[in-house]
């Protein structure tokens, strides 16, 4: 069940169950960007928290390789997610394996890799997908099809235009996680550390 | 011995035989469960230094128990799931299974989490322990990171119940998370590049080793599999479980038994018909042999309570040796012509038969000394069978063979025998043996050896492959190597196991073991202290520094607990948790330790119960099977030993191969001594020469054939000695009685040899390596010995 997080990723896919043209067009469009950089703001609220937690940073996503997640606020920390696992990167660019990381996260990125590489059947299996808008402003809403999952996850919404602009995850326990992406652009040449840790030749 | 007593004896013997047959029939068919033992493990000898280790080996091997573990695979996800559902339904409807698990019952995630909440401060993963124990652990930073994890939606315990994520980490490391199966569409599913795999578990309505259970459940599975494959093309059903191995072993053994049994029966029948040119001798020979085999079966089951597959196949081959005694008697009758008197015939062959029986029994008795259950059973089977067959010749056959033979022994056979006897006796033959002996030397030098466990257990490779795939996907099914941890009580066992598993974690060797589920009390107490090791002390009024953690004594504990609660409360408030959440979490400290009783009462741990043995536990390595490395990892740790059953068997095979070679030498001396007593020292060597040379040449032939020598080859050589000595004896003893018919005695020996070759030799076709080796060696050994047997007769001038 902990792996439900995985499903967040499934957003990036999905075919059969929505207005087929829009969903397909969006995915086809997103997949033209093989590596993107973006600034992110993540806002999380949970009934246990007095106020929402907000973090800022930058990310690099490379299809087939993995993701750099560099948090700048409220602390400075860089995580790298690849198929091999999750590592923390220090200032010198050395990666240290993170053992007890929330396993879902690693799987999110791994699944994301698979989905953006064209294996898009899983999201449709798990979710009803509703699409809204047009290619310039679209929203995809993913609602769990199975009660087991619905007990944990309420729904996930994905918004964007040229790029993915935002993700909203609503959990059944009242937790919400909102990700806003800005300054999204094609990644260009990765840095030496990025190339090394993501295995980009 | 008067005619009356002959008949009376025959009647008594016939009555006893009838009783034995009835007893045998009841033992085999009348008691519900079949006494045929298909559990190959039962054939293995004890190898471990103590009984506990043996029990551990057995527990591990049977961990999958009386269940079928199936993975339904299809490239198409929906097809795989539908096929799995239908398979589950089809199996579940049949009485062959008590229950089938395909679709998961609805369950609440809370059911998995809630029982652990009371113990959450006592259970920490090694990584969290390391973090907390590190100097300057920063609780604020740790909480901030957790609260801002990317995509970090919290799916295990509620955030307020587990703000640091310790319990979630702990639950993630529980062994049920070991495989890649996740609940999906209410099915346990794994995705691989080649498609989806869905788990179906079917619990058998009985033991995996029960013949009826095997047939019924496999039949049902086969039908259901055919149906779903027809409906969902491309579906594969991967399987593992003791029942499949047992059934495969049984099928192999039954095939072997049929081939060996039927082929040798037909062959022997044809041969006897040709030799004696009458049906009566054929029937008589078969009655005697059948009684031998029935007697052997009865006594074996009475002694051991069951019959191994290996024994069954070997028993089919024993026909060829048991028939020898009646053949000798029948030859005597054929040679006597009209002068035949049944009782005199018995007196005539008795010395030869008794001597032959004695040498055979000697050979088998040595076999019985080997501490292999399977070999011991074969020996008892043979001893009983030979004795009964021989007794039937003395007590039953005279009554059945009162009339003289209608025809002498077939002339072509006698001519052939005489021809070869002339070639193969005298000086020329000795010279030839000497030349052959020299030629045998390179063969001996080329001889290798092989002591692998696969000699006794060689499951179909496809079953092993499927088991490996299932182990990779589902994370269960055990290997055969593990560490055994022993201690005086549960706590000591757990502490010792932790010493090992800490080392394994440092060496990045994966493992499955008890302490991943139940830490020792000592470790749990440390965890409790560590969870208090939060660097928030300075923000609180009465704050001991991190080094003054609660240790011992009621007073210290109480102060410690209060301090800890304050620290926890402060840490959570600082990190942005609501005050009542922080309060509730802090109040839950310290909770209670997770105990052995708790572990035993947790249903999710049921599949892992085999890891715990009260005063011992098993730790299974994952992914690393280099024995030397595994052994090194446990070096110097008290109470821990690496158990490696295959290696134990190999060592044992090797050791007994060595012993057996010595015994063979000893047996040769014993038989030589028996011959010296009967024939005098000057003639004894001639009688001993054929079997001895037969052994030497067989071994050389194995070398030339590139067959590595195994324990089973050496065991077979003992039988070659036993049987080969018979031939020399029959010839030596028979010659004086058939002086008027040159070649007749040797023809009888050849007849015996060919029947033995027909049955034992067919064992060479067996699918079981052990029997195959037996068969090949006997084929060579008996062949050589029979051909060399003429040497044993006193020199003839016409040579």
B570 is a domain residue: yes
What tens digit of pLDDT does each residue of B262-282 get?
888 888 899 889 888 888 888
Q: Nearest CA to CA, how far is B606 from chain A (Å)?
A: 20
pLDDT at B183 over 80: no
Same domain, yes or no: B336 and B381: yes
How many other C-beta atoms lie within 10 A of the C-beta of residue B479?
16
Q: Which SS3 state, helix, strand or coil, does residue B240 take?
A: strand
Q: Which long-range contacts (CB under 8 A, 24 or more apart) does B676-682 make?
A: B678/B355, B679/B732
Q: Do B155 and A2 touch (CB under 8 A)?
A: yes
Q: In what order do the strands lie in the sheet with B640-644?
A: B510-512, B616-622, B481-486, B640-644
B194 is a domain residue: yes
On chain B, the residues whose CB falls within 8 A of the CB of A125 are 77-78, 184-185
**Parallel, antiparallel or unpaired: strands B307-308 and B36-37:** parallel
CA-to-CA distance for A109 and B575, rounded, in angstroms?
Answer: 27
B51 is a domain residue: no
**By mean pLDDT, which of A47-56, B185-194, B474-483, B715-724 is the weakest?**
B474-483
Q: Do B108 and A51 touch (CB under 8 A)?
A: no
Same domain, yes or no: B253 and B401: yes
B617 is a domain residue: no
**By mean pLDDT, which of A27-31, A182-186, B612-616 is the weakest?**
A27-31
**Residue B157 at interface with chain A, using a CB cutoff of 8 Å:** no
Cβ neighbours for A167, distance < 8 A, ≥ 6 positions apart: A8, A11, A156, A157, A158, A159, A177, A178, A179
Same domain, yes or no: B143 and B214: no
ipTM > 0.90, yes or no: no
| pLDDT top residue among A144 and B490 | B490
CA-to-CA distance for B284 and B396, rounded, in angstroms?
Answer: 9
Among candidate residues B587, B603, B631, the one where a domain is terminated: B587
Share of chain B above pLDDT 70, in %: 90
CA-to-CA distance for B550 and B546, rounded, in angstroms?
Answer: 10
Q: Which SS3 state, helix, strand or coil, does residue B224 take?
A: helix
Q: Nearest CA to CA, how far is B711 from chain A (Å)?
A: 47
Same domain, yes or no: B210 and B342: no
On chain A, the residues whose CB falls within 8 A of the CB of B155 are 1-5, 104, 152, 171
Give residue A133's region: left, alpha or beta (phi > 0; psi -120 to 50).
Answer: left
Q: Which SS3 state, helix, strand or coil, does residue B767 take?
A: coil
Asked if residue B747 has a cis previous peptide bond (ω within 30° of 0), the answer is no
Same domain, yes or no: B115 and B194: no
B547 is a domain residue: yes
Among candidate residues B536, B559, B587, the one where a domain is terminated: B587
| pLDDT top residue among B589 and A107 | B589
Among candidate residues B564, B587, B610, the one where a domain is terminated: B587
Given a contact cutoff of 8 angstroms between Cβ atoms, the answer to whether B642 and B631 are in contact is yes
**By mean pLDDT, which of B16-20, B295-299, B787-791 is the weakest?**
B787-791
Q: Which SS3 state, helix, strand or coil, does residue B509 take?
A: coil
Phi, psi of B139 (to 5 degrees): -65, -35
**By mean pLDDT, which of B124-138, B151-165, B470-484, B744-758 is the weakest?**
B470-484
Same domain, yes or no: B721 and B777: yes
Number of structural domains found in chain B: 3
pLDDT of residue B109: 67
Cβ neighbours for B222, distance < 8 A, ≥ 6 positions apart: none
pLDDT at B387 over 70: yes
Going by pLDDT thresholds of 50, 70 and 90, the confidence category of residue B48 is: low
User: Containing domain of residue B223, as a range?
Assistant: 66-104+186-240
CA-to-CA distance for A28 and A24, rounded, in angstroms?
Answer: 6
Is the pTM for the entire model greater than 0.90? Answer: no
What tens digit of pLDDT does each residue of A102-119 get?
545 544 444 455 445 444
pLDDT of residue B49: 60
Q: Which SS3 state, helix, strand or coil, does residue A59 take?
A: strand
- CA nearest to A98 within chain B: B127
* CATH classification at residue B74: 3.30.70.120
**DSSP characters over B160-211:** GG-TTSHHHHHHHTSGGGSSS-EEETTEEEEEETTEEEEEEEEEESS-TT-H
Per the prediction, chain A carries an average pLDDT of 75
* CATH classification at residue B349: 1.20.1640.10
Going by pLDDT thresholds of 50, 70 and 90, the confidence category of residue B499 is: very high
**Token pair for residue B438?**
């020299």
Same domain, yes or no: B213 and B335: no
What tens digit of pLDDT does each residue of B32-46 get?
777 777 776 676 676
| pLDDT top residue among B220 and B764 | B220
Same domain, yes or no: B390 and B403: yes
CA-to-CA distance for B779 and B761, rounded, in angstroms?
Answer: 5
Given a contact cutoff of 8 angstroms between Cβ atoms, the answer to whether B202 and B67 are in contact is yes
Same domain, yes or no: B667 and B791: yes
User: What is the number of alpha carbons within 13 Å of residue B281 lying toward its C-beta?
Assistant: 30
B400 is a domain residue: yes
pLDDT of residue B479: 63
Q: Do A48 and B149 touch (CB under 8 A)?
A: no
B43 is a domain residue: no
Q: Do A169 and B109 touch (CB under 8 A)?
A: no
| pLDDT top residue among A124 and B1 | A124
Per the prediction, chain B carries an average pLDDT of 83
Closest residue to A42, CB basis, from B77, B150, B579:
B150
pLDDT of residue B475: 65
What tens digit of pLDDT does each residue of A151-176 get?
777 888 888 888 888 888 888 888 88
Which of B68, B75, B166 shows the shortest CA–CA distance to B117?
Answer: B166
What tens digit of pLDDT does each residue of B624-671 get?
667 788 888 888 889 998 888 777 778 878 887 888 788 788 888 888
| Count of positions (residues) in chain A | 201
Same domain, yes or no: B540 and B446: no
CA-to-CA distance for B150 and B158, rounded, in angstroms?
Answer: 17
B60 is a domain residue: no
**Residue B151 at interface with chain A, using a CB cutoff of 8 Å:** yes
Same domain, yes or no: B148 and B192: no
Q: Which long-range contacts (CB under 8 A, 24 or more apart) does B346-354 make?
A: B346/B1, B346/B393, B346/B394, B346/B397, B346/B398, B348/B737, B349/B393, B349/B733, B350/B394, B351/B733, B352/B328, B352/B729, B352/B730, B352/B733, B352/B734, B353/B325, B353/B328, B353/B329, B353/B390, B353/B393, B353/B394, B354/B390
Same domain, yes or no: B704 and B766: yes
What tens digit of pLDDT does each residue of B665-692 get?
888 888 888 888 888 888 888 888 898 9
On chain B, the residues whose CB falls within 8 A of the CB of A171 are 153-155
């Amino acid at each position: 069940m902990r792996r439900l997080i995985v499903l967040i990723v499934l957003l990036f896919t999905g075919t059969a169950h929505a207005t087929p043209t829009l969903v397909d067009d969006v995915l086809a469009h997103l997949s033209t960007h093989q590596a993107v950089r973006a600034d992110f703001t993540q806002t999380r609220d949970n009934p246990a928290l007095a106020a929402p937690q907000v973090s800022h940073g930058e990310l690099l996503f490379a299809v087939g390789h993995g993701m750099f997640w560099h948090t700048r606020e409220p602390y400075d920390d860089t995580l790298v997610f690849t198929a091999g696992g999750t590592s923390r990167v220090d200032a010198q660019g050395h990666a240290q394996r993170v053992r007890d990381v929330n396993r879902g996260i690693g799987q999110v990125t791994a699944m994301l890799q698979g989905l953006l590489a064209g294996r898009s059947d899983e999201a449709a299996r798990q979710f009803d997908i509703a699409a809204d808008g047009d290619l310039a402003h679209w929203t995809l809403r993913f609602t769990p099809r199975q009660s087991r999952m619905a007990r944990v996850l309420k729904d996930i919404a994905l918004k964007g235009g040229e790029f993915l602009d935002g993700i909203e995850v609503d959990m059944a326990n009242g937790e919400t996680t909102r990700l806003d992406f800005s300054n999204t652009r094609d990644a260009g040449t990765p840095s030496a550390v990025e190339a090394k840790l993501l295995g980009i030749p | 011995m008067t005619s009356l007593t002959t008949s009376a004896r025959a009647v008594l013997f016939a009555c006893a035989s009838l009783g034995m047959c009835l007893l045998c029939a009841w033992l085999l068919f009348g008691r519900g469960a079949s006494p045929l033992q298909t559990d190959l493990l039962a054939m293995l000898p004890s190898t471990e230094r103590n009984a506990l280790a043996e029990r551990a080996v057995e527990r591990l091997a049977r961990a999958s128990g009386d269940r079928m573990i199936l993975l339904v695979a299809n490239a198409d996800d929906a097809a795989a799931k539908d096929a799995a559902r239908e398979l589950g339904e089809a199996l579940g409807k049949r009485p062959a299974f008590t229950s089938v698990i395909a679709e998961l019952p609805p369950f609440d995630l809370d059911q998995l989490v809630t029982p652990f909440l009371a113990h959450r401060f006592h259970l920490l993963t090694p990584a969290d322990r390391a973090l907390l124990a590190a100097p300057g652990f920063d609780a604020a930073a740790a909480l901030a990171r957790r609260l801002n994890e990317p995509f970090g939606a919290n799916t295990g315990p509620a955030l307020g119940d587990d703000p640091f994520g310790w319990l979630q980490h702990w639950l993630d490391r529980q062994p049920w998370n070991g495989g890649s199966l996740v609940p999906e569409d209410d099915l346990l599913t794994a995705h691989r590049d080649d498609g989806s795999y869905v788990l179906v578990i079917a619990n058998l309505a009985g033991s995996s080793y029960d013949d009826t259970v095997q047939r019924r459940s496999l039949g049902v599975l086969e039908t259901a599999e055919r149906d779903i494959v027809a409906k969902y093309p491309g579906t594969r059903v991967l399987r593992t479980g003791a029942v499949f191995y047992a059934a495969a072993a049984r099928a192999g053994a039954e095939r072997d038994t049929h081939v060996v049994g039927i082929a040798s029966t037909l062959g022997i029948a044809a041969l006897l018909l040709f030799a004696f040119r009458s049906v009566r001798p054929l029937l008589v020979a078969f009655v005697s042999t059948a009684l031998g085999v029935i007697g052997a079966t009865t006594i074996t089951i009475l002694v051991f309570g069951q019959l191994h597959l290996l024994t069954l196949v070997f028993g089919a081959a024993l026909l060829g040796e048991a028939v020898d005694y009646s053949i000798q008697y029948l030859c005597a009758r054929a040679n006597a012509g009209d002068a035949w008197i049944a009782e005199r015939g018995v007196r005539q062959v008795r010395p030869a038969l008794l001597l032959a029986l004695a040498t055979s029994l000697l050979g088998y008795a040595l076999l019985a000394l080997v501490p292999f259950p399977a070999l011991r059973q074969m020996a008892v089977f043979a001893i009983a069978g030979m004795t009964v067959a021989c007794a039937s010749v003395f007590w039953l056959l005279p009554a059945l063979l009162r009339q003289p033979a209608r025809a002498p022994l077939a002339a072509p056979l006698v001519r052939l025998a005489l021809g070869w006897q002339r070639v193969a006796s005298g000086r020329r033959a000795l010279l030839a043996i000497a030349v052959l002996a020299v030629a045998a030397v390179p063969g001996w030098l080329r001889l290798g050896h092989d002591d692998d466990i696969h000699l006794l257990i060689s499951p179909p490779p496809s079953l092993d492959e499927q088991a490996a795939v299932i182990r990779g996907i589902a994370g269960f099914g055990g290997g055969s190597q593990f560490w055994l941890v022993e201690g005086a009580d549960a706590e000591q066992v757990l502490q010792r196991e932790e010493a090992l598993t800490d080392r394994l974690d440092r060496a990045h060797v994966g493992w499955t073991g008890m302490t991943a589920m139940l830490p020792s009390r000592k470790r749990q107490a440390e965890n409790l202290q560590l969870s208090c090791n939060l660097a928030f002390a300075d923000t609180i009024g009465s704050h001991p520094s991190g080094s003054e953690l609660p240790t011992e004594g009621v007073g210290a504990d109480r102060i410690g607990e209060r301090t800890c609660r304050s620290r926890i409360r402060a840490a959570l408030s600082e990190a942005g948790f609501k005050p009542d959440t922080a309060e509730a979490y802090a109040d839950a400290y310290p909770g209670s330790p997770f105990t052995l009783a708790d572990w035993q009462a947790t249903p999710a741990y049921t599949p892992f119960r085999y890891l715990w043995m009260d005063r011992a536990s098993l730790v299974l390595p994952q992914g690393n099977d280099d024995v030397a490395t595994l052994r090194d990892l446990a070096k110097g740790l008290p109470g821990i030993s690496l158990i490696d059953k295959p290696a134990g068997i190999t060592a044992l095979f090797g050791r007994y191969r060595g012993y057996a070679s010595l015994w063979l030498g000893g047996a040769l001396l014993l038989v030589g001594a028996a011959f010296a007593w009967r024939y005098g020292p000057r003639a004894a060597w001639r009688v001993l020469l054929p079997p001895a040379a037969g052994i030497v040449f067989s071994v050389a032939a194995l070398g030339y054939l590139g067959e590595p020598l195994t324990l089973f080859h050496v065991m077979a050589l003992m039988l070659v000695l036993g049987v080969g000595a018979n031939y020399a004896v029959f010839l030596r003893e028979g010659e004086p009685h058939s002086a008027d018919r040159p070649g007749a005695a040797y023809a009888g020996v050849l007849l015996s040899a060919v029947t033995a070759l027909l049955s034992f030799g067919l064992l060479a076709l067996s699918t079981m390596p052990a029997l195959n080796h037996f068969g090949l060696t006997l084929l060579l050994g008996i062949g050589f010995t029979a051909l060399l047997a003429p040497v044993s007769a006193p020199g003839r001038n016409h040579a």
